[in-house]
Structure 1
């Protein structure tokens, strides 16, 4: 096992970030203490101390309070293409569990997520990727809990960038194939319909809508395995399509220009996990990173997710999204 891979494993461990945060704050505190001792009447030093206290408060809140918050977001999407039989149809969207972060005492939040999903009595539930953080075995302790999530028209899911073995540092094609197969099998064990560049039709009488899913289609360092042509094979342009795609950057790159999917559901960004006075660091990389976005009559809904590799959230609580489809 090489040094680079060992470093990657350490950086992907959720506890690493808590430790780093504590070390940095302790060092800053020691520095501020020395400065206050040497120049106790300096206004600059007292300003630095006030800033340090603010950082302490933000750190403690983000790691131990904000990271445990959960909200239910309700949105509507109206389309003239929606069949009349689906007017009022309810979809629960969630994603980015990164299950390694829910081991131990973190399980309580995931139990609340599951209870909140069940309480919506939705027609369909969708999971938009990143079930695991780095290894398929993380899912085993949560099979019964997440497997209890059910809906009349089923639970549909797609793979996110963390659901591939890229984070395990192996180049062995047989090992890569085996790990990917186990990730796919986990969705089957949960009773979810994993959509790997494929689709499924949901019927209401003589009417139907399409629930389609692309493999992760990232930009740059993330896997780009999405295939729209395959996902929507034999689907007519007048059919209403809900597209699941983990990475929201694919909406502008591929989905808008290359297919007619009216509503796309994504995750991946976690909303930046930090929001200060309306600004999120996710805005530096993504045009769409949290909430509903429109391009004409077509829309993208990006959920902030329920977990994260870094157990810190400030102003960006974990969430599930309840989408109600309306006939326009």
Structure 2
């Protein structure tokens, strides 16, 4: 059944690819000199057919094996580069076709031949413009693959709470999320990102899940790098959906269990206090807040986390900060919980690793899956912050949604 579903998906994908190839070629025909059209057509279709079959085989392999190899990851990268380039070109060509179609209808209704020559054939300058504009997203994606995935940014936010204990006024938290260690190849770049996090000198450090892609040993080359992140009030962490080893094959159930236990130990080796549906008390100048951490809980993903268990022995009046990997947990359980959980820190979405964030435009494909995909959300004084992720997965790049180090300052007010 899995093979049948995979085959159907690949056939649909190949149909889409060939349709885009055909549409793009309609623009190429207007640009190529007539004397080179036959040779250009042959070269174009041999090349595009080869690439399409390569992509089809890559996606079929990923679906059957359940994991992304370094080779298939590179194929996926180029698939996205070509796809976004083609879609940009097709957008222009389709716009021209729409105008031509409307013009034909108008001429038919009015029985007029005015401007018929302009509307009856594809115009060269439109195709030239389409290809010129398409260079912009193509360049952006190539930059995202080569440099953008290591372009770490520090994002600072200040949140105000009336019932924050006085001693914690100005208390700072540095958050990392979604390291996805198995995706990294440039460990020096990773080191610079970790050093940026350590340099914030926050009072508290938290990591909100997905340390690895599949296996615990992926983090081994970077244990020393992340172990250097220290905070006066401790370093705390939780698990994410990838950390359980659910997305790869294991020789036995025992091997999978052993891998998870090994991963938990890696947190300890880095100096992280791993919270598994439990809480810790953070005390400062005789006052305290409660830090809670749950196992992964998410809509569409494994929901192991037990919020009620993490709240055991936590006084209701305490100021509470929750670490929960998937922001859908906040949507489904936390924000409407009878106990006031003041701040939830999540990750998981990566902001889909691509999008646009400006003072005027904020868009990512992630918004079609997650109501809260990056940054701050608030309801009735309960806050959620979604970190955009430190690492990357599947698409080995970032375009417009850069890897993030979050610094949150708590203020009384």
Same fold at TM > 0.5: yes
**Alignment CA distance shift 1:251-1:25 (3 Å):** closer
Report what 2:391 is aligned to.
307
Greater Cα shift, 280-289 or 78-87: 78-87
Aligned-pair Cα RMSD in Å:
2.6
The structure number with the bigger radius of gyration is 2
TM-score, normalised relative to structure 2? 0.71
**Aligned equivalent of 1:16, options 72, 77, 81:** 72
Instruction: Give the match for residue 271 of structure 1.
Output: 351
Equivalent position SS for 2:336 = helix
Q: Deviations over 1:60-108 (max 9, x none)?
A: 12212322211111111111221111111111011111011223xx213
Residue 367 of structure 2: aligned partner: 283
Q: CA deviation at 1:41?
A: 6.6
The answer on whether the counterparts of 1:63 and 1:311 sit within 8 Å (CA) in structure 2 is yes
Instruction: Tell me, in whole angstroms, the C-alpha distance in 2 between the residues paired with 1:189 and 1:6.
Output: 35
Greater Cα shift, 65-74 or 18-27: 18-27
Relative contact order, higher structure (CA 8 A, sep 6+): 1
Deviation, structure 1 residue 164: 0.7
Q: Which structure's residues are more often helix, by fraction?
A: 2
Gaps of 5+ in 2: 7-59, 90-120
Q: Which residue of 2 aligns with 1:298?
A: 382
Count of aligned pairs: 317
Task: Describe how 1:121-140 pairs up with structure 2 within 5 A.
Answer: 121-140=201-220
Distance 1:151 1:14, change over 3 A: farther
Gaps (5+ residues) in structure 1? 33-38
| 1:238-278 deviation line (CA, Å, top 9, x unaligned) | 10111000000100101122342100000001122112342
Q: Secondary structure at the match of 1:20?
A: helix
Candidates 155, 165, 168, aligned match of 1:83: 165
Cα distance in structure 2, aligned partners of 1:135 and 1:239: 37
Partner in structure 2 of residue 115 of structure 1: 195
Verify the 8 A CA contact 2:297 2:329 in the aligned structure 1.
yes
Query: Is it true that 1:250 corresponds to 2:335 in the alignment?
Result: no
